[in-house]
Structure 1
Amino acid sequence: MSNRKWNLGLLLLFAVFACLLLQFVFSTLRIRELVRPLESSPPDGDRPRHIVLIPQELDNPYWRSIEQGAREAAREYGMELDYTGPFRINPTEQSRLLEKAIAAKSDAILLQGIGDPQYRGLIDKAAGRGIPVIAVDMDEPESRRLAYVGTDNTEAGKRMGELVAQASGGSGTIGVLIGSEAPNQRLRLEGFRSVIGRYPKLKIAEVRSSNISRLQAAEQAAAMLSAQPQTGYLVGFSALDGPGMLEAAGRVRPQGLRIFAFDDLPETKEGIRQCKLAATIVQQPRQMGFDAVALLHDYFQGKTPQPQHYTATSVLDRSALGIGGSCP
């Protein structure tokens, strides 16, 4: 009887041991299933850098060109790019998106400066958390941004002044449109004034803002032409000013007016072809986007970029478009 009890005890002990062993095996297999995805993913140091690009206006053709260049560079350097911005110009929304990018611990941020103290504070906050920020198209020089990539706006304004001085022979009356009171627009105007000021017979009659709107550009240009009938030259410093000035000229003074624009929208180039627009100064937005990401790549490799990285501008006129002959 004692032997039978002993055998039953051993059998019960073996059953308990077998159950514990099976539970251990199943637990081990489950842990391996959970760990396998982590083992297959690259370590944190090898993951692609995540960059956020915050434009002034999401579907603006100019900013889409910047996005295109940034994406090309991101692919080349193995980075990931998110493009997110306000549908219409909205500095408050730009600030909110910057805060969101900081909270998400992005590896880097590309953005347009807006000349606002609170915005500069957010850029400084990002820098304090080790997130490099590059200003594109418009600088935020008093912030801790890593670098600025874009046009040398003062020099672009001077180049415009030289175009107008040459076309006018140093004598005449000029009406000027700026897109806004943004720093890049003011710098262009300052550069322009510095050249025009060298010609005593060349006068800037009026400066108005188009508020980055074709409709307002047309309205303000028409108002200038009506108020200053002696105006022989119109100059615009933002992309939509050219088409707006062309529309105003068609309504108010179709003949005898020389128009100078900024950037190369299709309507601006068509105005040059039709001799309705003398010339435009063209920026390189795609190059801005590419160079900004390239600078970030160098920075992550331990190289410190220069504070300003200027992209080239060029003059687009009939000869640059390959059109022979002069305008009547």
Structure 2
Amino acid sequence: MKKALSIATALVVLGVAGSASAQDTPAFHCEPGETYYMNVMMSGIEYWKPVYEMFEQAAHQLGCEAEFTGTPEYDVNKQLTSFEQVLVRSPAGILLHPMNPDPFVEPINRATANGTPVVTFAADSPNSNRVAYVTSDNNREGRAAADAIAEAMGGKGTYAVLENPGQDNHDRRVKAFIQRMKDKWPDMTLAGRAITNQDPNKAYQAVSSLAQAHPDLGAVFMPEATSAIGASQAALEADQNIKVMCVDVNAKVLDLIKAGDMFGAINPNQGIQGYMGFMALFLAAHPGLIDPMNDYKRTGKNPFSFPLLDNGFSMVTPENADDFRWNEYKARRDG
């Protein structure tokens, strides 16, 4: 009986669709085979999963196809190669997390010139012709982290930072963090800076060395989650009550925060990044949907573009850490 009802329903739908004119087709809908890609560096990072989950949902809601691509290495040349491999597939659009801004200027501009819009997310290539940038405010994240640490330390103490020079969003977070300490918390002293490039072993060694050199070290901040694993281990072994804080989370970081072995983390709203990133790409790929009151017809420029969409962020603490677990989120989404 259920099977018969399903077939009857399908025939009704097909009959309605068959009798409808082309004008009845929803404007916000993809053509068959219209595919949008998400391209990242270090494709195994857990951060990308909820971003792509909502990127894919937005695609399916509009009858589009979505694909995830990237490279497993922290290597800008390998990500550039993966980006070029996507271009060969004639994508409708690309949501891109560029490892470094400048190397991607030429390929983004070439893609755009050939009719493939590019939207950046979480990290930008501001000198390129990307049509939009979706991110949490990296400067606001750095300032919020500085305030949280300084307040917890009573506004006085010594701190250090771990960093990954050259990655735009990470550089902004670190710079904002240090500047906030200088401007608002003058009694907070910077003990040192160490380059870890998202390597937990380098982070472990860096924090161990910093703790030995500065017995009064009270906090360490880093702009990503991978380094936090090594940093927190070194902090625990140093037994100096060092508050470790990062941006982004993964399962291990959440475990550490929940157990009280890490001070906390700031997590961008990844799902909003993915969803709004897709919507921006779709609108850029379908400029006929938009007719703004400007000179786009005279200049020939795509009428859809915006410099920044802030997806917001959350402060992760022991109390709410479980709300950011990927497995539970995915199970809920699949259910």
Q: 1:100 is matched with which residue: 78, 85, 91?
A: 85
1:51 has 2:36 as partner: yes
Alpha-carbon offset, residue 306 of structure 1: 2.0
The one-letter code of the counterpart of 1:233 is: A
User: In the TM superposition, what are the counterparts of 1:139-178 in structure 2 within 5 Å?
Assistant: 139-178=124-163
Question: CA offsets, 1:166-186, max 9 Å, x none?
Answer: 112211000111244311111
Q: 2:206 is matched with which residue: 220, 223, 241?
A: 220
Question: CA contact under 8 A between 2:47 and 2:249: conserved in structure 1?
Answer: no
Find the residue that maps to 1:177 and give its secondary structure.
strand
- Between the aligned partners of 1:146 and 1:200, the Cα distance in structure 2 is 40
Q: 1:238 is matched with which residue: 224, 230, 249?
A: 224
RMSD of equivalent CA atoms: 1.9
Which residue number corresponds to residue 41 of structure 1? none
Question: CA contact under 8 A between 1:259 and 1:278: conserved in structure 2?
Answer: yes
1:181 has 2:161 as partner: no
Find the residue that maps to 1:84 and give its secondary structure.
strand
Alpha-carbon offset, residue 101 of structure 1: 2.4
Q: 1:208 is matched with which residue: 189, 194, 208?
A: 194
Alpha-carbon offset, residue 256 of structure 1: 2.3
Normalising by structure 1, report the TM-score: 0.79
Find the residue that maps to 2:119 and give its secondary structure.
strand
Which residue number corresponds to residue 312 of structure 1? 312
- Between the aligned partners of 1:298 and 1:146, the Cα distance in structure 2 is 10
Which residue number corresponds to residue 112 of structure 1? 97
User: In the TM superposition, what are the counterparts of 1:23-62 in structure 2 within 5 Å?
Assistant: 46-62=31-47
CA separation of 1:256/1:104 partners in 2, compared to 1, >3 Å: closer, same or farther? closer
Alpha-carbon offset, residue 237 of structure 1: 1.5
Structure possessing the higher radius of gyration over alpha carbons: 1
Find the residue that maps to 2:127 and give its secondary structure.
coil
Normalising by structure 2, report the TM-score: 0.77
Question: CA contact under 8 A between 1:58 and 1:64: conserved in structure 2?
Answer: no
Find the residue that maps to 1:143 and give its secondary structure.
coil
CA separation of 1:58/1:46 partners in 2, compared to 1, >3 Å: closer, same or farther? same
Which residue number corresponds to residue 252 of structure 2? 267
Question: CA offsets, 1:175-200, max 9 Å, x none?
Answer: 11124431111100111122100222
Alpha-carbon offset, residue 141 of structure 1: 0.6
Which residue number corresponds to residue 182 of structure 2? 197
The one-letter code of the counterpart of 1:241 is: S
Which residue number corresponds to residue 70 of structure 1? 55
The one-letter code of the counterpart of 2:102 is: P
- Between the aligned partners of 1:314 and 1:117, the Cα distance in structure 2 is 29
- Between the aligned partners of 1:59 and 1:182, the Cα distance in structure 2 is 18
- Aligned-residue identity in percent: 21
CA separation of 1:320/1:63 partners in 2, compared to 1, >3 Å: closer, same or farther? closer
Find the residue that maps to 2:246 and give its secondary structure.
strand
The one-letter code of the counterpart of 2:113 is: G
The one-letter code of the counterpart of 1:243 is: I
- Between the aligned partners of 2:31 and 2:259, the Cα distance in structure 1 is 54
CA separation of 1:132/1:258 partners in 2, compared to 1, >3 Å: closer, same or farther? same
Alpha-carbon offset, residue 321 of structure 1: 4.6
Which residue number corresponds to residue 69 of structure 2? 84
The one-letter code of the counterpart of 1:200 is: P
Find the residue that maps to 1:244 and give its secondary structure.
helix
Alpha-carbon offset, residue 314 of structure 1: 1.0
Find the residue that maps to 1:232 and give its secondary structure.
strand
- Between the aligned partners of 2:156 and 2:103, the Cα distance in structure 1 is 44
Question: CA offsets, 1:256-291, max 9 Å, x none?
Answer: 222222222222222222222222111222321121
Q: Which moved more, 1:225-234 or 1:129-138?
A: 225-234
Which residue number corresponds to residue 11 of structure 1? none
Alpha-carbon offset, residue 105 of structure 1: 2.2
Question: CA contact under 8 A between 1:281 and 1:315: conserved in structure 2?
Answer: yes
- Between the aligned partners of 2:169 and 2:240, the Cα distance in structure 1 is 31
Question: CA contact under 8 A between 1:178 and 1:236: conserved in structure 2?
Answer: yes
Which aligned runs of 4 or more in structure 1 are off by greater than 6 angstroms? none
Q: Is there any run of 5+ residues in structure 1 with no aligned partner, and where?
A: 1-44, 323-328
- Between the aligned partners of 1:62 and 1:129, the Cα distance in structure 2 is 30
